[in-house]
Amino acid sequence: MRKRLPLWGKIAYGAGSVGWVLLDRVVMTWLYYFYITSPVEGVNSFTGAAVFGLLMFGGRVIDAIADPIIAKFSDNHMGRLGRRIPFMLWSGIFYVLVFIALFYPPVKGESFWNGLHLFIFLGLFFTFFTAYVCPYLALLAELAYTQADRVDLTTYRSIFYMIGGAVGMLGSGFLIGRLGFHGMVWTAAAIALPFLYIPALIKEKDYTDARPATMGLLEALKSTLQNRPFIIYLIGSIALQLGYNIFSINLPLYATALLGKTEAEATVFFLAQATAVIAFPLVNYITKKTGLKKGLSLTMLLFIIALPFTCLLSDTLIFLSPDLLLFMIMGLMGLAQVGVMVVPDAIVASIADLEEKRSGQRREAMYFGTQGLLVKMAMGGSALVSGGLVQLFGTSLGVQLTGPVAALVVLLGLLAFSRFPEEEVMAGQGQADVESVPRVKGM
């Protein structure tokens, strides 16, 4: 009989996301900019835009392959600390070290060696990211076992996610202005490292009674991909993540390349995403009230509404200031990002319950790992799309077109996700016996 996770445990679990999100946001926001424009004095660029896109895609492929492998080992692990915490303990430090190395290309100027460096360390960065985050997300599905509890736990995690994202996006720009790029990188690493180890305060075995799975890698993958609701969800999720990441890696360029702002000035626009503060309780309430399917559909709709307007970010607009338009886009995206953080993982956790009914095994990590494999390839595709648009249409028009292209991708995903059988998934949700522990009201 397992305990119900108390409030301090929810906070400890959520705090871990500050570490991995902070570093991920710095990489997704600034690495592309760093390599193709090179803010380092005396260097025009470290790689071309299209080359960067290809290398980012290659790194994501390596990462994607790692997802189901790490998921399998985590699901089948029999350690005394549980199935998830051990993987988070050993991967955290390597994740931080490789993050630092990414911003130290070996040659000043465009070079084969810079490309090789980027390819190797992107692969390592994403692999250690997966080694931490896949077990971390799987732990969520074990610590919370009803839809309401899962929405609450993803909400707590998402609040810390936003803190890490704010430091990674807003704080990084100000730190670049004060300390330079490398000063920012070391400061971000120093902040992230202790947060990665806070979830280890949770004694995993006190709050979950899941036994190690026994399936081999190919058998586990096959069983996962035979879960029809999961496939329908994946199509929508992949499209959403592809659109979101096309937008994310172009954030600095919207302000710098299109509006002529400095790196520090660019971060001011990111402040508009503080709309997320009001969105957390709203998304939590709406999702519990209307269901996970409507929650994710509304999130995708916000993307579709906001993103096409990046094509109007230019000085030729007479009726609206481009600065104000970018603030408005960022504000809508702040609302949308909360839905991305809160809803999808709660859906995967619920879908994973169907697996226990089908095979009698709890394999949460494989579901998150399989999602990671496909979503990360799509995220690598976002760099290919962005680099290709810049290569074909030039920096200004290419960057402007990223928003409409991203919105179209999300629209196609929404059409596919509309067939998601939520009632079937909720009917299969596990109802484990728990030890009576006072439950915190609200979130």
Domains and CATH numbers, the chain: 7-427 (1.20.1250.20)
Partner residues linked to 82 by β-bridges = 79
Task: Using the CB atoms, write b or e for 198-218: b if 16+ within 10 Å.
Answer: bbbebebeebbebeebebeee
The confidence score (pLDDT) of residue 196 equals 95
The segments of the chain whose pLDDT lies below 50 read 430-443
What are 390-427's pLDDT values in tens digits? 888 888 899 999 999 999 999 999 999 999 988 887 77
d(CA 289, CA 271): 29
| Separation between Cα atoms, residue 142 and residue 79, nearest integer Å | 16
- Residue 429: what pLDDT? 56
Concatenated DSSP letters for 12-49?
Answer: HHHHHHHHHHHHHHHIIIIIHHHHHH--STT-S-SS-H
Q: Which two tokens stand for residue 2?
A: 């397992």
Rounded CA separation 362/223 (Å): 12
Q: Where are the beta strands (DSSP E) in 35-134?
A: none
- 157: part of which helix (H) or strand (E)? helix 147-166
What are the two backbone dihedrals, phi and then psi, of residue 437, each rounded to the nearest 5 degrees? -130, 135
What pLDDT, on a 0 to 100 scale, did the predictor assign at position 406?
93
CA of residue 375 relative to chain centroid, distance: 10
pLDDT score of 308? 92
2: helix, strand or coil: strand
pLDDT at 365: 74
CA distance 315 to 269: 17
- Which H or E element spans position 370? helix 364-417
Token digits for 330?
């960022």
Structure tokens at 152: 């609450």
In sequence order, which residues have a C-beta less than 8 Å from that of residue 236 and are 6 or more positions away? 296, 300, 413, 414, 416, 417, 420
Q: Report the residue count for the chain.
A: 443
Query: How far apart are the C-alpha atoms of 245 and 224, rounded to whole Å?
Result: 25
- Please name which of 392, 81, 369, 412 lies closest in space to residue 235, comparing C-alpha atoms: 412
291 backbone φψ class: left, alpha, beta (φ>0; ψ -120 to 50): left
* DSSP secondary structure letter of residue 271: G
pLDDT of residue 9: 84
- Phi first, then psi: give them for residue 111, nearest 5 degrees: -160, 150
CB of 368 closer than 8 Å to CB of 72: no
Q: DSSP class of residue 171?
A: I
Give me the helices (H) in 167-291, please. 172-196, 204-207, 217-225, 228-249, 251-256, 263-270, 276-290
Neighbours of 51 (CB within 10 A): 21
Q: What is the pLDDT of residue 439?
A: 40
